[in-house]
A and B are shown apart, each in its own frame.
Chain A
């Protein structure tokens, strides 16, 4: 019996199987779109925003006004090693909310981006 193809297949499998990994990194808690939807410009206050979204990741002073940042980062890393060749793709996306307040602490503007679920495992040559 010719065992050469079997041996070759086993060696190739042994080389390929332990040489790939995927990993995922999340930074900060996900932002709840429902909680975000409960905030109303001109009505909600800083206390309301704190109650709905929790503590902000950053606070920026804009004269007498202020803006708060919330973000949730999601990265997916797919890496394959073929002996000495490494193919790596890292896709990082974010959920972000910026809430702008006037000098009285009333919400004047708010903007959100919910993309964190769009991170993908891909090869570097994928579209």
Chain B
């Protein structure tokens, strides 16, 4: 058992460090996932773009995928994790812009490729960073528009898990 002064010291340290040392439990969700059972409804060589749009709604990305093909991608994410964060704020800067580039690295989803007649050719499921290379190679429309939240020296250690 800790003595009374030791307890007081522990509480004082906790209070003093609370602004720069944190044990964090985070969860970040982006959009709602698609049930993999629904994917079986669409068939390569039969289904059309209309079927896809009616079933899953609007895709996240659309891009040219070869001479006579284009692809659409649906993506979602749920990151859960804990960690220890030590930070020393230097300045504060915040941009409300939405950073698709950062999101691309962790999104899970579906890519469907259609031919010039809007017929489904094939579909793939996985991390968009691996299956949507065509989109990720596409140059950004707005260079330099990403988040600039920096200005904080920090280290983050912990465990993360993803569920999809």
Taking Cβ atoms with an 8 Å cutoff, the residues of A that contact B are 25, 27, 58-63, 67, 69, 73, 81, 83-94, 96-98, 100, 108-113, 115, 118, 122, 124-125
Per-residue 0/1 for B40-59: is the Cβ within 8 Å of any A Cβ (1 yes, 0 no)? 00000000011011101111
Tell me if B58 and A85 are in contact (CB < 8 A).
Answer: no
Q: Is there contact, CB below 8 Å, between A96 and B27?
A: no
Contacts of A25 in B (CB 8 A): 96
Q: A81 and B98: CB pair below 8 A?
A: no
B32 and A96 form a contact (CB under 8 A): no
Residues in chain B within 8 A of chain A (CB atoms): 14-15, 17-18, 21-32, 49-50, 52-54, 56-60, 62-64, 67-68, 70, 72, 80, 85, 96-98, 116, 118, 141
- Asked if B18 and A92 sit within 8 Å, CB to CB, the answer is no
Overall SS of chain B's interface:
mixed
Q: Main SS of chain A's interface residues?
A: strand
Known: A62-B62, A98-B59, A109-B118. A73 touches B26 (CB 8 A): no
B49–A90 touching, CB < 8 Å: no
Indicate which residue in B14, B15, B60, B62 contacts A60 across the interface (CB closer than 8 Å): B62
A47 to chain B minimum Cβ distance, whole angstroms, is 21
Contact check: which of A67, A86, A98 meets B23 at CB < 8 Å?
A86
Is the beta-carbon distance between B53 and A85 smaller than 8 angstroms? Answer: no
- Once bound together, how far apart are the Cα atoms of A97 and B57, in whole Å? 8
Specify which chain B residues have a CB less than 8 angstroms from the CB of A91 in the assembled complex: 29
| Nearest CB of A to B161, in Å | 12
Cα–Cα distance between A27 and B28 once the two chains are bound (Å): 17
B57 pairs with A60, CB closer than 8 A: no
Least CB distance from B103 to A in Å reads 9
